[in-house]
Amino acid sequence: MRQLVYALRFHGEARRIGVDGNVLAIATTATGGTIRCQMGLAGIETSLRPDPRGEAACEAELVLTGKTMFQQAGTIAFGTAGHRLRLSTVGSGHLGPGPAANLRHGAAIWRVEWSARSWQ
């Protein structure tokens, strides 16, 4: 199996759904591009060159299971060729305060599944 390494920054929105308001529907996109990191005598130099020809889309459902915990499941679709990854949290993700009163930061470990034929 070929290893794929990527880094994307997704932007989008989350909206509350469900009776209790503890479920969020998340829809985000990320533009493809080239990330470069060069280390040398002057330190670290980085650059990001967006490439609007490719886009990834993430759709997920996040369930708040406590004040600082969540579980999530969804898909990431890469471009229009039908390449998809299914993702879900391993255990629970954790939330903490963000840089503004209306924002929170979080972290989770995802289980990733794919269809092998879609990556050949």
- Give residue limits of the domains in the chain: 11-119
Mean pLDDT of 55-74: 95
Residue 77's Cβ-side half-sphere holds a number of Cα atoms within 13 Å equal to 10
Q: Is the pLDDT reported for residue 57 higher than 60?
A: yes
Q: Is the pLDDT of residue 64 over 50?
A: yes
What is the CA 35 to chain-centroid distance, rounded?
17
Task: Give the span between the Cα atoms of 68 and 100, in whole angstroms.
Answer: 16
Q: Which residue has the tokens 């794929």?
A: 4
Which pTM value belongs to this model?
0.77
Distance (Å, rounded) from C-alpha 32 to C-alpha 53? 7
At residue 52, does pLDDT exceed 80? no
72-114 per-position pLDDT tens digit: 999 999 887 778 899 999 999 999 999 998 888 899 999 998 7
